[in-house]
Amino acid sequence: MTTKIEISGVGKTFPVRGGGAFTALRDTTLDIAEGEFLVVVGPSGCGKSTLLDLLGGLTRPTTGRILLDGAEITGPALDRGVVFQQYALLPWRSALRNVEFGLEAKGLGRRERAETARHYLDLVGLSGFEDRYPHELSGGMKQRVAIARSLAYDPGVLLMDEPFAALDAQTRDSLQDELLRIWERTGKTVVFITHGIDEAVYLGGRVAVLTSRPGRVKEVVDIDLGPRHETEDLRSSPEFAEHRHRVWSLLRDEVRAARRLDVPRPRREAVGLG
Ligand SMILES: Nc1ncnc2c1ncn2[C@@H]1O[C@H](COP(=O)(O)OP(=O)(O)OP(=O)(O)O)[C@@H](O)[C@H]1O
């Protein structure tokens, strides 16, 4: 197993307006193997997006370091593709031209760009929609374009921050299958953040559960369900339920802890202690 990403003792602190600091992540350590599909879950506000931003190089860790292929991540680069919950498409460009966007940065010629963009739109099931503008596409289609755009410049790592959260359940299920198919075909390393336990278990080869804030890795659960397309209605199987329960129990305790953090502490005099 080759390590693709090495997260060692990473902490992230943000300055707070009016003084002080807020710790979003503390001492987070995790190795991600080349070609694995790793899902990250955790209570709201525990630092999942912060972790993804760090992997994307959009911010730098306050402590610790993150290595990609043995070299420290110091900024965004084309070796990592990022897909967010909101499609982030350029509204004035057609689907094809949106996918071509990253290829322009790579310096590809016009014809090669168009061919590559067509190939990736086909891969995400959007052949025939190349000339549509974002406002002419459904939410699921827009997200497919965003995925095609990230895949087109062939990054080794795909970073996905709740990419299907805004979609209806049916579209989400079919995009999950499509993503797994693409992952199997391309062998990319995927780091996928979600709030959905079912989604985590369905997609992940491993699921990392983070603690309530400041986030740390509480446990990494191995999901040994084999290739997902080999079992019909896998989500209804006892094995799936077992894994789901394991992740759910780990998360439940953290969600409770997070809620306690969110309740404003009563002032001493208000409860008669002062
Ligand atoms: N730029 C920033 N400045 C100050 N605080 C920040 C900043 N970015 C994030 N935070 C804080 O860090 C914590 C973690 O945020 P983050 O978005 O990573 O959580 P999350 O786990 O992705 O949350 P959710 O599940 O609700 O999307 C939050 O409390 C947030 O308010």
Task: State residue 251's pLDDT score.
Answer: 92
The answer to whether 195 touches 225, Cβ cutoff 8 Å, is no
The CA distance from 160 to 197, in Å, is 16
Pick the residue whose CA is nearest to atom 11 on ligand 1: 24
User: What pLDDT is attached to residue 272?
Assistant: 31
Higher pLDDT residue, 61 or 267? Answer: 61
Q: Is 13 in the pocket of ligand 1 (CB under 6 A)?
A: no
Q: According to the model, what pLDDT value does residue 4 have? A: 97
pLDDT digits (tens, 9 = 90+) for 167-195: 888 888 888 998 998 899 889 999 999 99
Report pLDDT digits (tens) over 207-227.
Answer: 999 998 888 999 999 999 888
Task: Tell me: pLDDT of 33 over 70.
Answer: yes
3-state secondary structure 77-89: CCCEEEECCCCCC
Q: What is the pTM of this model?
A: 0.89
- What pLDDT is recorded for position 159? 96
Q: State the distance from the centre of ligand 1 to the C-alpha of 264, rounded, in angstroms.
A: 18
**Residue 267's pLDDT band (boundaries 50, 70, 90)?**
very low
65 in helix, strand or coil?
strand
pLDDT score recorded for residue 153: 84
**Strand-pair category, 71-72 with 63-68:** antiparallel
Give the pLDDT of residue 227: 83
Name the residue with higher pLDDT: 8 or 1: 8
Given this model, what pLDDT does residue 262 score?
A: 66
Distance 16 CA to ligand 1 centre (A): 12
Instruction: Dump pLDDT digits (tens) for 38-75.
Output: 999 999 889 999 999 999 999 999 999 999 999 999 99
CB of residue 22 inside a 6 A radius of ligand 1: yes
Mean pLDDT, rounded, for 75-86: 87
Using DSSP, how many helices (H) and how many strands (E) does the chain show? 7, 10
The share of the chain scoring above pLDDT 90, in percent, equals 59
Question: Residue 201 in contact with residue 228, Cβ under 8 Å?
Answer: no
Domains along the sequence of the chain with CATH: 33-59+155-271 (3.40.50.300)
Q: Does residue 43 have a cis peptide bond before it, meaning omega lies within 30 degrees of 0?
A: no
Query: For residue 268, with 0-12 CB atoms within 10 Å meaning exposed, 13-18 middle and 19 or more buried, which class applies?
Result: exposed
Which numbered atom of ligand 1 lies nearest the CA of 50? Answer: 18
